[in-house]
Amino acid sequence: MSSALRVLITSEQIQERVRLLGEQINADYPDGPIYLISILKGSFIFLADLARALKRHSVRIEFMGISSYGAQKTSSGQVKVTRDLDANIEGHHVLIVEDIVDSGFTLSYLTRVLEQRKPKSLEVVTLLDKREKRVQAVKVKYAGFQIPDEFVVGYGLDYAEDFRNLRDICVISA
């Protein structure tokens, strides 16, 4: 496949923003454990950098897999959990870690699922926020960058499973 890539956010810009997000989150939470829940697969690189930007000892890493039926997430009922947490999050501070929030259907479903498990707090951190595409209202406490409605890859985000390993976030056009 021949694709044109245009850098939207450089690796350096990402690193600086993640460092600031880490500082902000550190300041907002009391000492003690924070559970970071990485939503597979796109958030794995952001998770790795964010976890290291949190200057505290108790940062607990969990993974969750979700799938949506068909190519389009046209309703929240079409999302389901394919890989669940290992830990019991009841009574703990929990941060959902996303690479991108688009329509909001994924997060809307996930927050409902996780709230039922009675965490002490439940917030969302996303590296990228495509706010203009939002269909379902979701509360995003921490967002790295607002981005326009363009197809982006890199730093964990894919196009047909490729490009996740790019250091920059790039706009792709076929």
* Interacting residues toward ligand PRP by CB under 6 A: 39-42, 73, 98-107, 158
Nearest alpha carbon to residue 42 among 121, 137, 152: 152
| Nearer of residues 63 and 105 to ligand PRP, judged by Cβ | 105
- Cβ atoms < 10 Å from Cβ of 9: 20
| Nearer of residues 54 and 101 to ligand PRP, judged by Cβ | 101
Nearest distance from C-beta of residue 58 to ligand PRP, angstroms: 25
Strand 59-68 vs strand 79-83: parallel, antiparallel, or unpaired?
Answer: antiparallel
Nearest distance from C-beta of residue 4 to ligand PRP, angstroms: 20
162 catalytic? Reply is: no
Nearest distance from C-beta of residue 32 to ligand PRP, angstroms: 27
Nearest alpha carbon to residue 37 among 143, 134, 146, 124: 124
Residue type, 148: P
Which of the residues are catalytic? 102
